[in-house]
Structures are given as C-alpha cells and as structure tokens.
Amino acid sequence: MTPSRDIGRLIEIMAALRTPKTGCPWDLQQNFATIAPYTLEEAYEVADAIARNDLADLEDELGDLLLQVVFHARMAQEQGAFDFSDVVEAITAKLIRRHPHVFGDERTLDPAAVKGRWEEIKAEEKAEKAAGEPPMKQSALAGVPLALPALTRALKLQAKAGRVGFDWNDPRAVLRKIREEADEIEEALDGDAPAVAAEVGDLLFAAVNLARHLRADPEALLRETNRKFERRFTAIEAALAARGKAPQEATLAEMDALWDEAKTRE
C-alpha cells in the first residue's frame, strides 16, 4: 500500500481498518468513548509541537489529529449518523455563516467587532437548534465541555458568567480575592487535608480569573512556567553534576542557591 496526498485515501484506509473479519482487531474494538482520550492526547501533542516551534513535528501531529476526526466519522457512518463528508460540509457552512465580513456584506468590521459578531451568530445558532425542543431553563454556564483541561474550563466558565454581569471590573479586585483565598488556606492548614485542598482549588480558580482579566491564557501561562521550571531545575542538575553530586545528595539551601544563579542567568 502506497501513501497518498488524497484525503479520500485516508478515509478508505480507515474503512479498511474497521471492516469486520479483514480489518484491524484493535481498531474494530474501539468506540467513541475509548477513542476520545486519544483525541485529547493528540490535540495536546499538536499544542506541544507549536509551543516548541517544531514545524516538522507539527506536521506529524496534525496528521495524528486528523486521523482522530476520520476515526470518529467512520464510527458514526457505521451507525448511520453521519460521515466524513457531512463533517466537512458542516464546518464549511459554519465558517461561511460566521464570517459575514468575508463572505457577506459586513465588510467594515474591526477585530473586536468580528469577535462580537461571531458570538452573536453562535447564540443565534444555539437558539435555532433549541427551537422545537421542550422548553427548559438553561444556565448561562451551559455549553462548556467537561473534558476540557481544568484551567481552560475555569476560564470559559468565568467568561460566560462575566457576560451576564457576574464579574469584577478591575484586576486589582481579583488580586484581592487571590489574597483572600491564600489567607483561607493558611487558616485551614491546621484542619483536615481535604478542606485545605478545597481552598487550594479556590485559589487556582481565582488565579485563572486574574489571568483572564489580564487577557492571558492561563493554560499557556502555566505551560510556560512548567518549561521555565524544567529549564532551571536542569541547570541545577548540571551544576551539581559538575561538583560530582546528584540532587538527592545536595542540601535544599545548595539547590536554592543554584536556582537563583540559573534565574539570574535568564
């Protein structure tokens, strides 16, 4: 079997993998629920390649992510729900509908207005989708997927609450809330561990809120901080190795001093 640049060939390969008796035993055992974790993992690997500015790896990871789309579409086709072409049609229709400033008459929108119009169109789509369904009171927080990373989900929940007025109008107010949550952690330290852990969760939620008010993505911020920690800790290990030591053989004070040196060099 030869590789191909044709998306149709990829769809054919996926169909072959899912064909009973002649297909792949592992692929045939899968369903939406078992494949979903792989879909999330591949999305993270795409984000990782972007963060590392590794375009060769990004090409590879995008292929892996595309495979996830093809896999889910194939399983839906087997159930008579939809197929890959329906997915393509749906997203192309959505892009045209949500870009009236490109494909319609609204040609004078600036970036802020474009974002606002996008949200308006999404709300209209949501209302149309709900038409004909039994009336029910829906929360302003509805529509934020549970499977999102916790920081990203917190960000989206806060943004939705903010749209209906439940929000601070000053990042300093959020900072005061962070200090308040930190004080509550200190007060809870003499209590049971679950109570302290719950207070830490509140602190993290407040920190996400501050990032939002600063127009920063908390997930991206934490990824960058993780990379910074790795970089500095690796510098500590290298410095200790030059002294013939491993980290577990060094004192905390010694490692702290090396951390400060690594920080200064940056």
pLDDT, average across residues 129-148: 75
Tokens representing 210 are: 């501050």
Q: What sections of the chain are H helices per DSSP? A: 7-17, 25-29, 32-51, 55-78, 84-97, 100-103, 111-130, 150-163, 171-188, 193-213, 218-242, 252-265
> pLDDT tens for residues 3-27?
788 999 999 999 999 999 999 999 9
SS3 letters across 188-243: HCCCCHHHHHHHHHHHHHHHHHHHHHCCCCHHHHHHHHHHHHHHHHHHHHHHHHHC
Nearest to 219 by CA among 229, 228, 208: 208
Has this prediction a pTM greater than 0.85?
no
Tokens representing 212 are: 């939002």
Q: CB count, 10 Å around CB of 9? A: 13
pLDDT of the residue at 132: 61
Which architecture does CATH list for 7-97? Answer: Orthogonal Bundle (1.10)
Poorest-pLDDT segment among 11-15, 85-89, 113-117, 136-140: 136-140
Q: Binning pLDDT at 50, 70 and 90, where does residue 150 land? A: very high
Residue carrying structure tokens 């509908």: 97
CA distance 180 to 186: 10
258 neighbors 243 (Cβ within 8 angstroms) = no
Q: Where are the domains of the chain?
A: 7-97, 220-265
Q: Binning pLDDT at 50, 70 and 90, where does residue 195 land? A: very high
**The pLDDT of residue 83 is above 90:** yes
Q: CB count, 10 Å around CB of 203? A: 17
CA distance 235 to 258: 8
Backbone phi and psi for residue 167, each to the nearest 5 degrees, phi listed first = -165, 155
pLDDT of the residue at 76: 98
